[in-house]
Structure 1
Amino acid sequence: MFLRQHFILIANIILFGAVGTLAATGQNFAVLVAGSNGWYNYRHQSDVCHAYQILHKNGVPDANIVIMMYDDLAKNPENPTKGVIINHPNGKDVYHGVPHDYIGDTVTPQNFINVLLGKKDEMKGIGSGKVLESGPDDNVFVYFTDHGATGLIAFPNDVLYAKDLNKTITQMHSGKKYKEMVIYIEACESGSMLEGLLPDNINIYATTASNADESSYACYYDDKRETYLGDLYSVNWMEDSDAEDVSKESLFKQFQVTKKKTTESHVMQYGDLKLGKARNVSQFQGENMINKPEPMSPLTDRLNTLLKRDTVATEDVRTAILSRRLANLPANSAERITIERKLAEAIQQRSVISATIDSIARKSFQVNRADYYELVTTKRIPLTQHDCYMSVTQHINEKCFDIQNEYVLNKLWIVANLCQVGLRDFTINNAVNDVCIGVNSMVFIFNCFLNNDETNQYALKISNKSVDKDPVQTSTIVYGVRNRRPVYNGTLSTVSTFILEELSNDRHRPIECLPIDDYILFMKMILLEIILEKYKEAVSSKI
């Protein structure tokens, strides 16, 4: 009897001890985010899809993975393989099975923050409503890929600032949302999101595609799809995860491999560097011994290295794609003429952006005794004046152009410098007002699909906008062009009437008009904002 009781006691200790150990081990959770949209940004969503396949294969449950991506690639008119997305030349489809938690306009900085903080109530009725439900025993992996700039990363229609990201991370720590967390960021100047901001004592290890001052790089241009399939840093860490036994590879080893193969930028690490050496990749990306890794042969590794020689800086991707398309088109073809025009417009757009930012810098010092123009336009200064920077960049977004544009992002370090040399945000914002209202002329085009069988272009050219400061003057002229034929010449105040009348004359339904080409960059100009709002009101009243 005594022996039997003794055996039962030992069995219970073993059983409950084992259960207790299992519970303490915790689970793996992940948030994967692609912050862009559009075919030329293909690589970002492709990266996220590939990352999902790695975690899924490694046994991380879909219930524990939150995916945020615009999801405009699989069925995109430019996709020659509908329903398929690849992350490597001639690679496997990485789109199949990917959860559609947050797509389209639900991919926002605020939703990302709510997901990280586990705010289920705030996410009710938005996408899948899924949030991080991790706790103090769980490991969390966060991967973000998109455009970036000094102290910010971009989303389709907004940006997330470094200050807000790090505030969220601090709240996650105080709220016991993780035991340990790993963050990978693919973006230009991504080091600026964490440098000097991420503590080294809150159990977080992070790596970034670049330091605080440089671009990240796209790679794997695909002639069939006419876009870049991946980002250099991202495909390097993911191809490593595919090939290695992640249960035996430390996070630091993956960082070293990625750093060595990412030759165009400086891959960085932040946070608790001891954690990076003490923990294996599998503790954050999952470990499923049923699915063994697929070791990369030296020949395959060499081939991938050769394929990555087509890398291009993120801010140059748009023009690089157009240039590649142009090289494959016959002379004098209609398509070649179209691409030549788009390339010329893209180059002109870059010139306008550079000139505008430069003018803002010059104007900012006109009311200040100290003139640091040369300094702020030639030397990068680490960002610490986050509030000033946030205020000015949002003002530029409102008054000048969309700061999600990759070339605008590439110039925002100058804006950060203006704040760093002691200028107040209201001083810089006044300069923004003067510069952006004074732009001489822009063109805005609408592509109107009428019954899906006819396309009409409506172009509006706004000239001498600065004279509109005086309501008595009527020098601001709007030229309306339909299919390259002038159909309207008048003042801004009646432009919406012109558009509405033109649409009414077509007598077709339904009407869907969308901004096209690269003119969307200038939507946020003051006068174009007025036009767009009036136009939306006119069209919505007819649908």
Structure 2
Amino acid sequence: MSFIVITFKIFLILFMLTFRRIYAFHKRNHISNQNKWAVLIAGSTEWENYRHQADVCHAYHIVRRHGIPRENIITMMYDDIARNERNPFPGKIFNKPGGPNVYKGVHIDYRGKDVSVQNFLNVLLGNAEGMKGIGSGKVLKSGPNDHVFIYFTDHGDVGLIQLPDWFITYHQLLKALENMKNKNMYRKLLFFMEACHSGSMFQQLPKNISIYATTAADAHQSSYSIYCEEKNLPCLGDQYSISWMESINYNDINYMTLDHQFEIVKKLTFTTSTVQKFGDYNIGSMTVADFIGNKPNHRKHHEKKKHYDKEVTIPSREADFHYLHKQLNETTPGSTKQKHVAESISKLFLDMKFVKEKTKLIVTILTGTENDANEVLNTKSLPEKQHGECFHNAMNILIKECYKTETQREHGLHHSQKILNLCSQPQLSQEGIINAIKNACNEVEKDEVVIDEDEECWMGQSLCNIFCTAKGVHNNEKMRGQCINEKCLCN
């Protein structure tokens, strides 16, 4: 028998063994659509955050179109966009320019104040008793033979994600997921997260609890908004979310694995944020249909997305500023409306600076020297399991006791990295950190917070320009901003 024949037979045997393993794996994990569950949550409110509810509405239609029963889908969104007085298309929400009305036909289980941290955790943990008399009362009723898909979209920062009433830390989320596993609430779980710094939420995700998670960004990056150029509308979508949903819309998900989808999304977002994956990587060889539903997609898979790669993307935490800047340019120069928009922009910047200075004060109280304070302020540490309780408690005290307005609280969350850094210092106790926060928060402000145009350009070039444009409206002159030698100069 020739060497070629022997080699071919060995190759054939190895191929058949590999094929049988793959077939056995997929047969073992294949389940009917009746055993698939989806939890879809948009954690934001207000018109400027339009895109999050648009993302969730689009996701709802995807899981329904692919066969997950309505009774197995739990949708949480504030529902203040479709009929918002600022919506030029009453009763409609769009997730891309010229796209369909994704709001139509969406069954919302929890809206308004029912979209809360506690209710979200109750839904995940199947706590029906805790949801009695709230919304639809629906919670996950999945079992050990079911697949669960969770999609979350909103703002986030290092170690936390936001909801309308409060925030969830990585410590809380991981505890909830581990409890789901301990309660045999799933066989496999897929988690997609759209938020700035979303990679920080899964740094400590165990690899042995059958969860595969992907995120819009790594632990220290912003995620990005897209479709932000439509007149009278904020950004319509988020880049990572649009990417994973379009990958489903234009591919046969009965053959597309989760790893393949991840590579598609990674390629579509590589110029902005770095999508990440965490958990049990073996699940990556399963198909998207194993979680989203295996009903055939009737779209033409060869149909091309139009203009997607040419779209302007904006860091998500700057989206509010860019929308107001767009309004500033679209209103009549010198009008009362334009001055009102400029006032709103200026207030946002003042709140940003107030929070920045308050955070620096807390760090300085604890570290004692400017050099040590700067190290804590500038270090980019990652969430560790042993620091979870300190971080969770310190952030709760900081936001409750330091910040009085909604925008201050939102910008306060943007400094979570500093609190995480403090909790990581071996010489500092949780009690000491919390006491320093209380002392700094109770200190009476001696001077009104002001922004000098030539101070350190902490806001970045894009926001510097928006700040100066608003300042020009106040001064009845046209101004632009530029960061030069770390100074924001208006001219």
* TM-score between both structures, scaled by the size of structure 1: 0.73
Structure 2 contact 126–140 (Cα < 8 Å) conserved = yes
1:408 aligns with 2:416: no
Identify unmatched segments of 5+ residues in structure 2.
Answer: 1-27, 450-491
Q: Which residue of 1 aligns with 2:77?
A: 69
Structure 2 contact 199–215 (Cα < 8 Å) conserved = yes
How far did 1:442 drift?
7.4
Q: What percent identity do the matched residue pairs reach?
A: 36
Deviations 1:147-166 (A, max 9, x none): 11121111001111111111
Question: 2-side partners of 1:252 and 1:58: how far apart?
Answer: 19
Structure 1 contact 216–313 (Cα < 8 Å) conserved = yes
SS at match of 1:295: coil
1:306 aligns with 2:310: yes
* Residues 1:242 and 1:315: Cα distance change in structure 2 (over 3 Å): same
Report the AA paired with residue 417 of structure 1: N
Structure 1 contact 30–141 (Cα < 8 Å) conserved = yes
Structure 1 contact 149–412 (Cα < 8 Å) conserved = yes
* Residues 1:408 and 1:218: Cα distance change in structure 2 (over 3 Å): farther
Question: 2-side partners of 1:51 and 1:89: how far apart?
Answer: 17
Structure 2 contact 226–239 (Cα < 8 Å) conserved = yes
Structure 1 contact 314–406 (Cα < 8 Å) conserved = no
Question: 1-side partners of 2:395 and 2:29: how far apart?
Answer: 48
1:320 aligns with 2:328: no
Report the AA paired with residue 242 of structure 2: V
SS at match of 1:261: helix
Question: 2-side partners of 1:334 and 1:434: how far apart?
Answer: 41
Q: Which residue of 2 aligns with 1:427?
A: 432
Structure 2 contact 399–409 (Cα < 8 Å) conserved = no
SS at match of 1:221: coil
Question: Superposition pairs for residues 225-244 of structure 1, below 5 Å?
Answer: 225-244=232-251
* Residues 1:163 and 1:354: Cα distance change in structure 2 (over 3 Å): same
Structure (1/2) with the larger strand percentage = 1
Structure 2 contact 200–219 (Cα < 8 Å) conserved = yes
Q: Which residue of 2 aligns with 1:101?
A: 109
Partner residue of 2:445 out of 428, 439, 443: 439
Deviations 1:23-81 (A, max 9, x none): 96561110001111000111111111110010111111110000011111111111111
Partner residue of 2:178 out of 141, 158, 170: 170
Question: 2-side partners of 1:213 and 1:24: how far apart?
Answer: 37
Question: Superposition pairs for residues 183-202 of structure 1, below 5 Å?
Answer: 183-195=191-203, 197-202=204-209
Question: 1-side partners of 2:222 and 2:30: how far apart?
Answer: 43
SS at match of 1:141: strand
* Residues 1:343 and 1:23: Cα distance change in structure 2 (over 3 Å): closer
Question: Superposition pairs for residues 185-264 of structure 1, below 5 Å?
Answer: 185-195=193-203, 197-262=204-269, 263-264=271-272
Partner residue of 1:141 out of 146, 149, 157: 149
1:124 aligns with 2:122: no
Question: 2-side partners of 1:242 and 1:24: how far apart?
Answer: 21
Structure 1 contact 145–187 (Cα < 8 Å) conserved = yes
SS at match of 1:30: strand
1:288 aligns with 2:295: yes
Question: 1-side partners of 2:134 and 2:308: how far apart?
Answer: 39
Question: 2-side partners of 1:23 and 1:53: how far apart?
Answer: 22
Q: Which residue of 2 aligns with 1:457?
A: none
How far did 1:370 drift?
11
SS at match of 1:157: coil
Question: 1-side partners of 2:262 and 2:408: how far apart?
Answer: 28
* Residues 1:118 and 1:220: Cα distance change in structure 2 (over 3 Å): same
How far did 1:407 drift?
2.8
SS at match of 1:206: strand
Report the AA paired with residue 150 of structure 2: V
Q: Which residue of 2 aligns with 1:39?
A: 47
How far did 1:371 drift?
6.4
Deviations 1:84-116 (A, max 9, x none): 011101211111111120111111121111111
Deviations 1:176-217 (A, max 9, x none): 11111100011111111111x211122211100111111111
Question: 2-side partners of 1:268 and 1:122: how far apart?
Answer: 33
How far did 1:372 drift?
2.5
SS at match of 1:32: strand
* Residues 1:245 and 1:183: Cα distance change in structure 2 (over 3 Å): same
Q: Which residue of 1 aligns with 2:340?
A: 338
Partner residue of 1:390 out of 384, 389, 392: 392
Report the AA paired with residue 59 of structure 2: A
Structure 2 contact 202–278 (Cα < 8 Å) conserved = yes
Question: 2-side partners of 1:136 and 1:225: how far apart?
Answer: 47
How far did 1:430 drift?
2.5
Choose 1 or 2 for highest CA Rg: 1
* Residues 1:341 and 1:273: Cα distance change in structure 2 (over 3 Å): same
Q: Which residue of 2 aligns with 1:501?
A: none
Report the AA paired with residue 383 of structure 2: L
* Residues 1:24 and 1:243: Cα distance change in structure 2 (over 3 Å): closer
Q: Which residue of 1 aligns with 2:367?
A: 365
Structure 1 contact 147–154 (Cα < 8 Å) conserved = yes
* Residues 1:316 and 1:370: Cα distance change in structure 2 (over 3 Å): closer
How far did 1:441 drift?
6.8
SS at match of 2:235: strand
Structure 2 contact 31–290 (Cα < 8 Å) conserved = no
Deviations 1:99-156 (A, max 9, x none): 1201111111211111111111111111100011111111110000111112111100
**Higher RCO, 1 vs 2 (CA within 8 Å, ≥6 residues apart):** 2
Question: 2-side partners of 1:59 and 1:442: how far apart?
Answer: 57
Question: 1-side partners of 2:30 and 2:249: how far apart?
Answer: 28
Q: Which residue of 2 aligns with 1:469?
A: none
* Residues 1:51 and 1:24: Cα distance change in structure 2 (over 3 Å): closer
Question: 2-side partners of 1:79 and 1:213: how far apart?
Answer: 33
